């Protein structure tokens, strides 16, 4: 069987009895065991549990009462709690944390019969754009192992890219699905804020965190998302918005993905193009535009005037929320606890200082600063106001266009160690992804070319809850391009 198959192909293989779910799981587990030592995509590979789940799925398939996801393998970013299985969030703080309950995402996917083959590596507490901030070592880009896979969901993206799993779940706070999807040459969706429950997903920045899906093609992404999303009463910020249109896409045939007679107009935000680095990237972007234009899609230049302040705004809000979300890691009830604390203060300070990595500490300290007395209004409240202006920019342009198209990142993947010296330069990598995060908008990144043998991504941004339109447009693009069918040279692995 071809590990680069789409879920649809794997589905028919399972349904026709060509292979069982157990065989499928073993097939991918063998690839994981073979390639993971080089790529470091996985922190935990729960083989026994996976084979158990696959056995159960096979029984359901045999009975004929299985759903579309039943028996298909996937991986979960190690930010999703999985009952009875180590959940580290990429941190030393949680190096022994066997989750005592299931995240809603893990529960839903397990409930649909999917088989979790592993917990993927990530930047510690999802803070990073390169996956170099993991306590469990950096993940490498399957296209060229000298390069980063992007972050923070780098393990999930690299695993899908190298076909160690067909699909994987990730999370995106300021670009953590889209940027690694772009760097690894796969498709990734960050849905509307509130689409996917945050319950049991370790919090980084509560008002921005959103679970989403990676796959090689848009249909796979839609299928996984349909299994993850939906209203959850355990998350107060979960959107009470039905998933019908996404389910319809995921479970219907490919005709469901066609836009039909709908004429769509895509906006090109000029502020993003100004930041494009180099002629090669512009050429890639032009090619993408041409593909759409030949399909009758109209383009219009639009303006999102507050784009340039999105990164600072994002870092204030995310840092502030993170600084207090991470206060619970105090060494008292679970997680890393320092040896022989002299007193309570020592217990707190050493457990946190030893348990957190540098980037996490930097963000906690920045967040503590921007929330402290005397600075709160100048930073946090100011950032929330700018956030509204950024969101208003989007609402304005969505009066005129259906979607926006931008590059996902300012360049292709960078080399390991290239940006680790300067956090600000690293933060600037998020320039195209943070604005839509602040506005809570759904975004899709699809592969749109390569430079120097490294993939690039095209970002499509839609109004709230327009994931179906986003996925259909992404599908249209993939119908007329083949970057999503390319994969790393086997020799590179």
The residues in 75-104 that bind other proteins, with binding defined as CB under 8 A, are 81, 87, 89, 94, 96-101, 103
Determine, following the binding rule CB under 8 A, whether residue 228 of this chain makes contact with other proteins. no
- By annotation, the residues acting in catalysis are 77, 152, 176
Find the shortest distance in angstroms from Cβ 195 to other proteins.
Answer: 10
C-alpha angle 296/301/306, rounded to 5°?
A: 140
Find the shortest distance in angstroms from Cβ 99 to other proteins.
Answer: 8
Q: Pick the stretch among 145-153, 268-276, 283-291, 439-447 that binds other proteins (CB under 8 A).
A: 439-447
Find the shortest distance in angstroms from Cβ 468 to other proteins.
Answer: 18
Comparing CB distances to other proteins, the nearer of 44 and 370 is 370
Q: Based on C-alpha coordinates, what's the Rg of the chain?
A: 21
Q: Which residues make Cβ contacts (< 8 Å) with residue 299, sequence separation at least 6?
A: 265, 266, 267, 268, 289, 292, 293, 405
- Helix or strand or coil: residue 444? strand
Determine, following the binding rule CB under 8 A, whether residue 410 of this chain makes contact with other proteins. no
Q: For other proteins, what does the binding mask look like between residues 448 and 487, x meaning CB under 8 A?
A: ----------------x-----------------------
For residue 199, give the nearest of 228, 221, 161, 167 by alpha carbon: 228
Among 362, 410, 486, 492, binds other proteins (CB under 8 A): 362
Q: Which residues make Cβ contacts (< 8 Å) with residue 183, sequence separation at least 6?
A: 141, 147, 148, 149, 150, 157, 409, 412, 413, 454, 455, 457
Q: Which residues make Cβ contacts (< 8 Å) with residue 275, sequence separation at least 6?
A: 410, 431, 432
Q: Rule CB under 8 A: which of 384-403 touch other proteins?
A: 384-389, 391
Q: Rule CB under 8 A: which of 232-251 touch other proteins?
A: 233-237, 239-240
Among 3, 67, 341, 410, binds other proteins (CB under 8 A): 341
Comparing CB distances to other proteins, the nearer of 199 and 432 is 199
Comparing CB distances to other proteins, the nearer of 294 and 343 is 343
Determine, following the binding rule CB under 8 A, whether residue 418 of this chain makes contact with other proteins. no
Q: Pick the stretch among 47-55, 178-186, 229-237, 484-492 that binds other proteins (CB under 8 A).
A: 229-237
Site size for other proteins (CB under 8 A):
99
Determine, following the binding rule CB under 8 A, whether residue 303 of this chain makes contact with other proteins. no
Q: Pick the stretch among 126-134, 155-163, 296-304, 434-442 that binds other proteins (CB under 8 A).
A: 434-442
Beta strands in 270-342 (DSSP E): 298-302
Residue 132: Cβ-neighbour burial (10 angstroms; 0-12, 13-18, 19+): buried
Q: Rule CB under 8 A: which of 248-277 touch other proteins?
A: none
Tell me whether the omega of the peptide bond preceding residue 71 falls within 30 degrees of 0, making it cis.
no
CA of 251: how far to CAs of 160, 167, 223, 257, 274, in Å?
21, 16, 7, 11, 40
Among 8, 376, 411, 420, binds other proteins (CB under 8 A): 376
Structure tokens at 316: 């204030």
| Whole-number Å distance between alpha carbons of 478 and 347 | 54
| Whole-number Å distance between alpha carbons of 210 and 233 | 16
Q: Rule CB under 8 A: which of 205-224 touch other proteins?
A: 205-208
Structure tokens at 54: 């696959």
Q: Pick the stretch among 34-42, 128-136, 159-167, 322-330 that binds other proteins (CB under 8 A).
A: 322-330
Q: Pick the stretch among 165-173, 280-288, 382-390, 485-493 that binds other proteins (CB under 8 A).
A: 382-390
Structure tokens at 51: 């084979």
Determine, following the binding rule CB under 8 A, whether residue 420 of this chain makes contact with other proteins. no
Find the shortest distance in angstroms from Cβ 287 to other proteins.
Answer: 32
For residue 223, give the nearest of 197, 185, 200, 257 by alpha carbon: 257
Residues in the chain, total: 493
């Amino acid at each position: 069987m071809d590990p680069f198959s789409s879920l649809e192909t794997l589905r028919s293989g399972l349904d026709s009895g060509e292979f069982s779910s157990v065989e499928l799981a073993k097939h991918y587990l063998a690839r994981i065991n073979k390639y993971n030592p080089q790529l470091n995509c996985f922190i935990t590979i729960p083989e026994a549990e996976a084979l158990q789940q696959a056995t159960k799925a096979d029984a359901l398939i045999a009975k004929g009462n299985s759903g579309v996801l039943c028996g298909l393998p996937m991986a979960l970013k190690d930010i999703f709690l999985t009952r009875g299985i180590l959940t580290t969030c990429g941190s030393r703080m949680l190096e022994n944390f066997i989750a005592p309950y299931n995240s809603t995402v893990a529960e839903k996917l397990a409930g649909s019969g999917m088989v979790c083959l592993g917990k993927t590596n990530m930047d510690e507490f999802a803070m990073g754009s390169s996956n170099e901030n993991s306590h469990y070592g950096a993940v490498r880009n399957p296209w060229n192992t000298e390069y980063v896979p992007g972050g923070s969901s780098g393990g999930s993206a690299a695993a899908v890219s190298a076909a160690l799993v067909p699909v994987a779940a990730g999370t995106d706070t300021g670009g953590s699905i889209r940027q690694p999807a772009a760097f690894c040459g796969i498709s990734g969706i960050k849905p509307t804020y509130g689409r996917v429950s945050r319950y049991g997903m370790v919090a980084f920045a509560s008002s921005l965190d959103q679970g989403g899906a990676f796959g090689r093609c848009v249909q796979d992404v839609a299928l996984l998302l349909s299994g993850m999303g939906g209203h959850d009463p355990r998350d107060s910020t979960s959107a009470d918005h039905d998933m019908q249109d996404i389910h319809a896409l995921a479970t219907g045939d490919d005709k469901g993905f066609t836009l039909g007679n709908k004429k769509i107009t895509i906006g090109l935000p000029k502020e993003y193009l100004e930041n494009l680095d180099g002629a090669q990237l512009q050429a890639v972007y032009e090619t993408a535009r041409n593909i759409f234009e030949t399909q009758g899609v109209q383009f219009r230049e639009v303006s999102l005037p507050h784009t340039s302040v999105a990164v600072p705004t994002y870092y204030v809000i995310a840092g502030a929320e993170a600084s207090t979300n991470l206060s619970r890691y105090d060494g008292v009830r679970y997680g890393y606890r320092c040896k022989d604390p002299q007193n309570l203060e020592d217990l707190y300070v050493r457990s946190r200082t030893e348990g957190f990595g540098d980037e996490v500490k930097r963000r906690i300290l920045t967040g503590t600063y921007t929330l402290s007395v005397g600075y709160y209004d100048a930073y946090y409240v100011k950032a929330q106001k700018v956030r509204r202006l950024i969101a208003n920019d989007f609402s304005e342009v969505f009066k005129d266009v259906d979607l926006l198209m931008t590059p996902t990142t300012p360049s292709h993947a960078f080399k390991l160690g290239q940006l680790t010296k300067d956090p600000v330069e690293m933060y600037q990598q998020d320039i195209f992804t943070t604005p839509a995060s602040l506005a809570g908008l759904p975004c899709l990144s699809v592969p749109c070319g390569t430079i120097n043998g490294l993939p690039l991504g095209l970002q499509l941004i839609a109004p709230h809850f327009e994931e179906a339109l986003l996925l259909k447009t992404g599908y249209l693009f993939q119908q007329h391009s083949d970057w999503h069918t390319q994969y790393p040279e086997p020799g590179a692995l």
